[in-house]
Structure 1
Amino acid sequence: MARAQADFIPLHSLGRDDTSVPKLNDEDLISDDELDDHERRIDFTELLKTQRQRMAEEIGVNESDDESLKSEENDDQNLWEQHQIKRVKLFPSPSIETASQPSTLIMSMTLDTLRKLPPINLETVKKRLTNRLESLQEVYRSHQREHEKIQVSAESSQCTIEHLEDTNDSGHRYKFYQEMRTYVQNLINCFNEKICVIDELESEMHQLLGQQARTLLQRRQDDVQDESTDVWQLSNTADASSGSDIDCVKAKQRRVEKREMRRAHRERLRNVAGQEADHHKGLSSDDEVAPADMSDFREKEDRILKESKKIFEDVHKDFYSVDRILAKFELWRQKFPDSYYDAYVGLCLQKILNPLVRMHLIGWNPIKPDCLDLAEMPWILALEEFCHMEDERFKRTENSDTRLLPIVIEKTVMPKIEGFVIHVWDPLSSSQTQSLVQICRKLKEEYAVFKDEQSKATQVLRKTIVMRITMSVEEDVFIPLYPKSILEDRTSIHSQFQERQFWSAVKLLGNILQWDGLLPEPILQDIGLDKLLNRYILLILQTSLSDLENIEKCKKIIACFPKYWFENLKRRSSIPQLENLCRYLLQSIRTIYENDAITPETKNSGREAIKEIVKMLVVIHALDHTETIINECKLEDLEWVFEGN
């Protein structure tokens, strides 16, 4: 546009006398028409519109209809061009005398700044260029190394692709993995849906059994309380019913009638079986349930068992049968053992099988004498076969499947036994204790469960058993003490009640000591001997009238002791917890020996009683006391009893 107005800044320097820009004539201008095609000026933008044109567009006035707009447009255009040209600043040469003062100041400041800069020589420039070159070379080398790595990775990936494409079983392997992945996902989704139902039914069964156990326990405690109250009231001259509520008295009478009916029923059964001669009152568990209560219990139990069988009725057998589930993983272990063991499938199987095993154990009662043996359960047989079919070379590895069965038992069976011990098991019941101990011994011998002392499940179960036994000793044992004048009558209610409670405590001692080998020996000796034998049982023996009658009781007590307690004793004395029993036996020998000296007619029976007591001392390895009493009472003919010990 400046060129079109013939008003532009020349490239050559102005003369000293030139004070303005020369203006070209019209002859000096070259028309665009005379230029070549590549030299012609090209308009890249439209001409700017004037304010008048914009106003005309807004009000809708057409330029062709108003000739005056064109002239005004040309005037505005020329005025705009002149303003733009004036914006171009001319910097005259320093030699021009008419130079303005600000320009001179600027130039002087620039020169001062240049003088302050450090000198630049060739070495400095060379050094900077060298450093820059080395930096670029280092970047280049890093890029080159990265490029080589990418090339190697690309070649390796290509080789892998070619190898997989050339391998015949790669497609089968991929297909198998996809099928197993889908199967496991469906299996987990199925268990996530059914686990709530399993938990609910399992909880209902435990509550049902626990309620029955609490009822029987409360009934036994009420019976003991009633008998103790009757004995106490009989010993007092006051009227027993004067201060009692009539309803309480009637309820007590009903309990007494039911108790006597149960005892009479058990006595008839023992007479039929021929066991009455060896039985003592207090040895029975008294866990009979009334027919009406038993029918209601059976009805609820059957309902729970029927619902448990319907849990997986809408599921394909491949997703709830233990043998079929294990068959899927057995196929994986046979085809691709490397990936099977690398994935630690054995550790995951116990979690997968947990809901199914719990479902099978809903109706299992370990304290019932006729409960189903674990070895006969289908899931146990399937797991044993799965572990047995493992290749011998993998059985010695760390993640072998040989530990799968014990782990499944620890995670499923032992927690269920723990729940029964806390809420259902009665330590005073010999049948329940025998059944529970038998199952635990099989778990130890056949599945090596109790052998692992570091197992958390084993430690928890042992603590639970010890806690329940201790609670039974503290709450269920009650042996009253009465004056000897009252106990002289063996048919009195005082004597019978004390005798019943004594044999009940002896029965509990035998049940506790059945756990030898399963519970630590110091714990058994502390609970059975210190807390039960020395605190309750020996107290009754020491206050008894007849030492001859206590011989049979002592035999029953000593028969409860595990024999291995006395086999490896290096000293001649018994274990410390039996020292009180040894002293009582020695005192009994002295008493019988003195009575025989006073009444010669009972010498033969007394001699036999002393012989039996000496044998008991030898059985519990109290050799020092045996030797002492033989020398004291001149029983040289009984030295053969402890010879060889």
Structure 2
Amino acid sequence: MQGIPAQYTTSAGEIPNARYIRAARKKRQVARAQADFIPLHSCGRSDISVSELNEEDLISDDELDDHERRIDFTKQLKTQRQRMGELIGVNESDDESLKSEEEDDDQKLWEQQQIQRVKVFPSSSIEPASQPCTLVKNTKWETWRKLPPTNLETVRKRLTIKLDSLQEVYRSHLREHEKMQVLAESSQCTIEHLEDIPDPGHRYKFYQEMRTYVQNLTNCFNEKIRIINELESKMHLQLVEQARNLFQRRQDDVQDESTDAWQLLSKAGPSIGNDIDRVKAKQQRIERREARRAHREQLRKASGKEADHHKGLSSDDEIAPTDLSDFHEKEDHVRKEAKEIFEDVHEDFYRVDRILAKFRLWRQRFPDSYYDAYIGLCLQKILNPLIRVQLISWNPLKHECLELAEMPWILALEEFCLMEDEKFEKQENSDRLLLPTVIEKTIIPKIEDFVINVWDPLSSSQTASLVQVCRKLKEEYGVFKNEQSKATQALRRTIIMRITMSVEEDAFIPLYPKNVLEDQTSIHYQFWERCFWSAVKLLGNILQWDDLLPEQTLQDLGLNKLFNRYILLSLQNSLPVLGNLEKCKKIIALFPSCWFENLEGQSSIPQLENLCRYLLQSIRTMYENNSTTPDTENSGREAIKEMVQMLVSIHALDHTEIITTECKLDYLEWIFKGN
């Protein structure tokens, strides 16, 4: 450059220093002074050489041109910095010094930024003043070189991690936002619900009244529950004692008859010994036994049922008049005490309909709090003592006993459940489950006690009544339909256990030679006949539980343990075929028809395979007898036809086809081909 000393010049690529910049400013100032105009601040001096200008006379390049300057006609307003300086006691000179220091700092910052932006090339002409900048640059370059290498994949991974973190934070904020929205909606609903209540004090008053009522009701039951338990125990013990006496009497009668028949068969005289009292007691038992049988026979003749009766089919559960009057006297005393339990109590605390009316009012006025408190589950425990009082004299083993559907408490419960609003019926804690729950918690345990302690499976009347009660519970209240109910499962196990005990203890059929049984007037035949029909009666009582007990369990108890072990074995060792034909028909008529429906193939159920073989053998014997004795041909053909029909009725079609082919019974093919 012209006009600038050599020490103020730079080569290409070098960063200008402060002296170079100052010289450039002077050059521009001289060029401006040589222009063809007179500056306002020159005071008429137009020809000034460059040498006459010193550094103080040079105008900074940062100052404004003449046309850009403003003329202030008023006193210039002070800046905020100046006003703050006056407040803290700083004068203009100090402010100028601060300003100059700030400008120097800005200048240094600008120089550092320029050093970072411009690539420095090494040159020998660089003066010592530029060496510190180069040193700073080299230091930073060394620092960058020590950093680990960075590629696009690393950057992508870091950005992905950062994005996942931000998304997780976003999701958490979103969940929090949704939660707040739900809470806000719930709060709004609560506010609207509370605003709809005309008088909040009325709700509080109602709750206080219900709280007091429930407390008084609980206190009342706590005082009466001990009396209820005592009366239940008294009645139950009387029934248990009566059942045990009847069972023991039947065992003694069977033992006495069996002993007499064995002594007569062995032609041995009675072993009296020195026990005269025992002989007298036995004689008294025999007299009472024969008197009961004679009395039952008179009753059957009077009613016209003697023709269809067989010895051993009667239950023999008559009670002596003295014992019966004593039992009725104790029973009436218990009933009287049961009626006096709540004589000193207001009706609102012992009548089921009154108690349910209180809770129904709560359900109608404030259904939300009613269902939130699970009152339907609590009502079962509240009503339990009252129902037990009404069931003290209830006996499911008697036909004349009052049915459950006619009891006042069950009618009140049915009405209470039916009056529930439809929109609450599908809830988990709905009151529609109250009645089945009460039956499972109150009725089923009472029936279970009767089954294990009082029920006699050998009694047809007791079994029929008990089965009828259980069947109504299943059909009307769905008790046995709920397989998951613990109460129902316990009742089933109790029934099965009691039937098993009866088969093991009551089933007894003596085995006598066939020549002994030929005389139907003998003591042996009459005793065998009575025991046989008693076992058949027990089989019929067991099979009455069809559709209430599992089918496989029922077949195992009735067929395997009773029929095949006792009844069928006795048939095989008894009279000829014609004498057993009626017995077989009676037995097969006891089998439930549902057992033989939807069977696959031509065979019957496996438990009846022995019966099928017995019938086949009987048909062969009858066919051979008809061939040798033409006089009995008609009766034999009729007996064969009935036995074939028996095979068809138990779905033994394979055996039927075999025997018709073997014995040339072509005229009977229509019987099994139609099935």
Give the TM-score normalised by the residue count of structure 1.
0.74
Cα distance per residue 1:532-555 (max 9 Å; x no partner): 000000011101121011111011
Partner residue of 1:621 out of 641, 651, 674: 651
Q: CA deviation at 1:241?
A: 3.5
Larger Rg over CA atoms: 2
In 2, Cα distance between equivalents of 1:206 and 1:460: 20
Q: Is the 8 A contact 1:611 1:638 kept in 2?
A: yes
Matches within 5 A, 1:191-590: 191-243=221-273, 245-590=275-620
Moved more, 377-386 or 635-644: 635-644
Cα distance per residue 1:69-103 (max 9 Å; x no partner): xxxxxxxxxxxxxxxxxxxxxxxxxxxxxxxxxxx
In 1, Cα distance between equivalents of 2:490 and 2:296: 37
In 2, Cα distance between equivalents of 1:161 and 1:508: 69
Matches within 5 A, 1:7-156: none
Residues 1:176 and 1:639: Cα distance change in structure 2 (over 3 Å): same
Q: Aligned with 1:642: secondary structure?
A: helix
In 1, Cα distance between equivalents of 2:274 and 2:286: 16
The aligned amino acid for 1:427 is P
- Aligned identity (percent) is 77
In 2, Cα distance between equivalents of 1:221 and 1:571: 44
Partner of 1:592: 622
Partner of 1:97: none
Residues 1:504 and 1:587: Cα distance change in structure 2 (over 3 Å): same
In 1, Cα distance between equivalents of 2:215 and 2:349: 11
Q: Aligned with 2:389: secondary structure?
A: helix
Q: Aligned with 2:673: secondary structure?
A: coil
Cα distance per residue 1:240-278 (max 9 Å; x no partner): 144361111110000000000000000000000000000
Partner of 1:606: 636
Q: Is the 8 A contact 2:224 2:341 kept in 1?
A: yes
Unpaired runs of 5+ residues, structure 2, are: 1-186
Residues 1:164 and 1:383: Cα distance change in structure 2 (over 3 Å): closer
Q: Aligned with 2:314: secondary structure?
A: coil
Q: How many residues align?
A: 490
Q: CA deviation at 1:483?
A: 1.3
Q: Aligned with 1:371: secondary structure?
A: coil
Q: Aligned with 1:425: secondary structure?
A: coil
In 2, Cα distance between equivalents of 1:567 and 1:165: 65
Give the TM-score normalised by the residue count of structure 2.
0.71
Q: CA deviation at 1:509?
A: 0.1
Cα distance per residue 1:543-578 (max 9 Å; x no partner): 112101111101111111110110111211000000
Partner of 2:52: none
Q: Is the 8 A contact 1:487 1:495 kept in 2?
A: yes
Q: Is the 8 A contact 1:452 1:458 kept in 2?
A: yes
Q: CA deviation at 1:630?
A: 0.3
In 1, Cα distance between equivalents of 2:283 and 2:277: 10
The aligned amino acid for 2:212 is T
Cα distance per residue 1:313-356 (max 9 Å; x no partner): 10000000000000000000000000000000000000101111
Q: Is the 8 A contact 1:453 1:459 kept in 2?
A: yes
In 2, Cα distance between equivalents of 1:566 and 1:254: 49
Q: Is the 8 A contact 1:241 1:249 kept in 2?
A: no
Cα distance per residue 1:416-450 (max 9 Å; x no partner): 00000011100000000000000000000000000
Residues 1:483 and 1:187: Cα distance change in structure 2 (over 3 Å): same
Residues 1:162 and 1:468: Cα distance change in structure 2 (over 3 Å): closer
Q: Aligned with 1:410: secondary structure?
A: helix
Computed over aligned residues only, the root mean square deviation of the Cα atoms, in angstroms, reads 1.9
Q: CA deviation at 1:487?
A: 1.4
Q: CA deviation at 1:164?
A: 7.3
Unpaired runs of 5+ residues, structure 1, are: 1-156
Cα distance per residue 1:155-179 (max 9 Å; x no partner): xx9xx99997996320110000000
In 2, Cα distance between equivalents of 1:592 and 1:422: 46
Q: Is the 8 A contact 2:352 2:409 kept in 1?
A: yes
Partner of 2:99: none
Residues 1:263 and 1:167: Cα distance change in structure 2 (over 3 Å): closer
